[in-house]
Each structure stands twice: as structure tokens, then as C-alpha cells.
Amino acid sequence: MPNKKKLKLVLCWHMHQPEYRDLQSGEFKLPWTYLHVIKDYVDMVAHLEAVPEAKAVVNFAPILLEQIEEYTNQVNGYLHHGHAITDPLLAALIAPTVPESSEDRWKLIKNCLRANRDRQINRYPAFKKLVEMTEWLEQHDDSLRYINSQFINDLLVWYHLAWIGETVKLTDDRVKRLIEKCSDYNLDDRVEMIRIIGGLLENVLKRYKVLAEQGQIELSVTPYAHPIMPLLLDLQTTHEAMPDALLPERDGYPGGEERVKWHLEKGVQTFTRFFGTKPKGCWPSEGSISKQTLKVLSDFGFGWAASGGTVLQNSLHLSDHKELTGIHHPFKLKDTKITCFFRDDGLSDLIGFEYSTWHADDAVGDFIQHLENIATHEPGDKVVSIIMDGENAWEYFPDNGYHFLSALYNRLASHPTIELSTFSDCLKNKTTVKPLTGLVAGSWVYGTFSTWIGSPDKNRGWEMLTDVKVAFDNAMSVNHLSNQQIQQAQIQLAVCEGSDWFWWFGDDNPGEAVSSFEKQFRLNLTNLYRLLGENPPTYLALPFTHGAGNPAMGGAMRPSSEH
């Protein structure tokens, strides 16, 4: 009997943070980039290093790469030359004194509570005790003046220890010592903490590059500042999956195709600077595709793109593919050269939303059983694509997903009928690519663009963005800016076009997160107007959206289905 073909499995981890800097002042407004580096990005690469037989695709948003570089430079600048660090939380870690005002102290204390209560805080009795004291203080704010420097310094060290990746905690004696010390952290301890952080920041991208050069992983890219390309190209594509959606009171986003090409060119340029090679594949921001988007990506020379499984289902339904007997294949839309892989939404969501409460061995066993069922019941050579964030899920797992990911890679790498692969390897090995006669535009979230457009607050964001783009175009046409000013304005506009601001707008998200993101969106727009030499509109001085929701996982992730 001929050898039965193995089921190909592609694990694709998307690493992405928006631009958290105020590009005019240089200050980082939120700390999530460096916190996810020291917790998630170092753990994800360590799991792959531990199982050389494993394979994966790792996708980086270029704007994240630049922020990691900036953090690395700042920490090195502090350690070697005493230069200031522009992230307030990281700067507080090594400040010789704590803030004097009660208001500033309370803000710093609150910032040290932004961690998963069950998995990051309660795991450590000393950290849990500090947090419980903080909760008492919140009920007795007149007692805040009695908080001393030691309390805040201990809280700062514990917060960063809680965010350190599990693979680091298991191997770094400095981290072990700090955890065992429990309290009374001095300045030497805090400088030790920042040395640990600096080393993780400096080496993390080099480690991914080495794995890519060895052929163990494929590195891919997203457009520079993570825009939703189909919406920049044509806001009307929203109606393909949501016919009744209300759209912004604007005719469309002016010059959208030119902007998409700018993001792609700048993204590939940035990626190549960090990794030394051009990427073969593109994970469009949030898996958002349309016919025009795929054509632009195809013309740009990418070999593959990927999107959500619901987008494929909607498109197959549109095309009435009667002969199709399975969805676990790459597809090619007619009149394009690019191959598109589609996420298995059910299996990806199991990792993102279910398995964190299971025992790791049971979760991996269940996952593999699903794959074996696919191999048994679907004909032909199959490719199952698991695509998800490389950061947000793991804080809900015990020990940052250490046991789950270790078991996952080890058991898959040695499985007799499942072959870990990459998207480019699938194409290189002549995996069957099926034709797709039509496409319904959408994203990996619900198969629609509803996360970024269609509600009053999200639409208002698009109207504000369109206004500043009109001002940008006018400034470019009169040609009164220097080359340096034009480059600064291009980057600032790109940041404004990022998808993350729109993700958080609206009542279905927590108030604190909505406030921080909409505030930064308004700051980004304000900075662009000033770069263009214009006074910002008065509406940018006022909040325009307020959260009220309590979504699963704090709103940082979405399931693929609304049901």
C-alpha cells in the first residue's frame, strides 16, 4: 500500500502591538510592548528552541519591531550611560525616589495592578498581599499618605516579576533570587530587574532570526502600522458581509490604495532591516481581506496571505461550491496569483478561549483528536491552519501556557500522521490549491469588519481619520513641508490608520481600556495636524467614546463567531 499522506498543520502566531509612543514627545503612553516581550515573545521562541523538530510561522507587525528596538536602546542607554527612559512604568522601576504627590503615587500603584488576578497575582503570596493592601487603600483613600517608598518599590518589582515569561523564571537565577526574596527590594534589586528586562529585549528578535535561518520557522509580515486594508481601499466592502451596516458620513477614505501600498512598502522595508530577508507571506492586519486587497498583495509579490475561516465559509456560500468536500486547503481567488490560507476558527478558538481551564495534557489530547478526525474524514492532502495572537491568550493559562505549549510542540513533532509545516513549505511541496470563484470581504473576527466599523463610535473614528487625511493631502499638494517633515507626517498618519484604536471604540469594551486607546487616538490625530502646521479641530479635545462592557478576556481577544 502507498504511504498515506500526513495531515499538514501550520501554527501561525501573530505578534502585534500598536504604536504606544507619542511620536512627538517620545513618551510611551502604555507599557504593553515591553511587557509582552518579557512574558510572551521570549516564551514563544523558547518553546520552539526546545523542540527543534517543531515548525511554525511567526508574524511580526513592523511597528512592533521598531518599538522593541527603541526599548532596547533606551534600557541600554540607561544601563551604560544613565540616560532617561521614556516609559513611565519602566522609569519608575529604577527611580531613586517615588513620586511625592499622592495623585502620582496612586496612579503608579494602579498601573501595577494591570495583570491577570488568578494567574499572575494570586500565584505569588507576597504580590497578592500587596494587591490586597492596595484594594484596602482604595476604600480608604485618606490613608494613602501613609504609604511609604518600600511599598511602592516592592509593588513595582513584583509587577515586573509577574510579567516575566515562565521559561525565564525556570532558567534565570537572578529571577529566582528576586522571587525568593519576596519583599524589601532595594535599588540594586530594581536595577537587576531592568538588566534582566534589557537582556530579554535585546535578544528576542535575534532568537527568532536564528530559527528562521535554520528553517525551523517562517517569518511573515503585516502592513507597517497594522491598518485594515480593505477599509482603506473601500469602506463599502463592509456591506459584503454586513449589508445593513451603517457607514461613516464620508464618501470613503481618500487615497486609500496609495496608503495601503505605502504600508506594505514600509512594512517590508522594516521587516527586511530586522531579519535580513524579504518575507514571502503577509498576514493582513486582523486577517482582513477583500478582492481588491488580495489583488494588491498579489501585485506586490507576496506568495501567500491568510484570513479567517468564516471569510472562507461566506465566500464558498456565495460561490455555491457544490463539489467542495473540505475546507482545510489553500485557495486561490480567480484573477490573482496569491494563495490564501484560511484559519480553522474552531480549533484556534479552543486554544484562545477554552483550553486555559483544562489540564494541559487533556487539552493537547483533545486538540490532536480533532486533527486526527480531520485527517480521517476529509479527503485529499489537507492543511489545517491555526492562526492566533502570540501574546494575549497565555496569561489565562497556568504558568503562561508553559505546560500546554511544551506538550503541544512535543506531541505534534513526534506524531506519526501529523506534520508541522509552514505556509511557504506547503506551497513549495505542491500542496493542492483549490480555486475560489468569489470572495466576501471580511476579517478573522466574525467574518466581518464589525470590530472596526459600523457602530456610531467606530464610524466617528473613521470620520475623524478622514478629516485629518484631507488635511494631510492638502498639505502635500501645496508643498510647504520639508522632506523631513513629510516623512514625519507620513509615519504619524500611518499610526493614526492603525486598526487597534477602532477595535476599542464603543460600549462593548471596558471603560478604562476604551479611555486609554481613544485618548491616544486623539493625541495621534492632534500630533498630525500640528506636524502639518494646522490647528487641530476643537473636537479632538473631548472624548468621543466611553466603554461599558465586560467582554471575555478583557476585550483583548475576540472569538471567531458571535454565537
C-alpha cell recorded at residue 350: 479552543
pLDDT tens per residue across span 238-257: 999 999 999 999 999 999 99
In the prediction, which pLDDT does 321 show?
58
The percent helix, strand, coil of the chain (3-state, each to 5) is 55, 10, 35
What are the residues facing 435 on neighbouring strands?
332
pTM: 0.96
pLDDT tens per residue across span 387-445: 999 999 999 999 999 999 999 999 999 999 999 999 999 999 999 999 999 999 999 99
Alpha-carbon distance 112 to 94, whole Å? Answer: 14
Please, what sign has the CA dihedral across residues 494, 498, 501, 505?
Answer: positive
Burial (CB count <10 Å: 0-12, 13-18, 19+), residue 60 = buried
In the prediction, which pLDDT does 375 show?
93
Task: Give the total residue count for the chain.
Answer: 563
Burial (CB count <10 Å: 0-12, 13-18, 19+), residue 518 = buried
Are 473 and 254 spatial neighbours (Cβ–Cβ below 8 Å)? Answer: yes
In the prediction, which pLDDT does 2 show?
38
Residue ranges for the chain with pLDDT beneath 70: 1-4, 320-325, 549-563
What are the residues facing 339 on neighbouring strands?
304
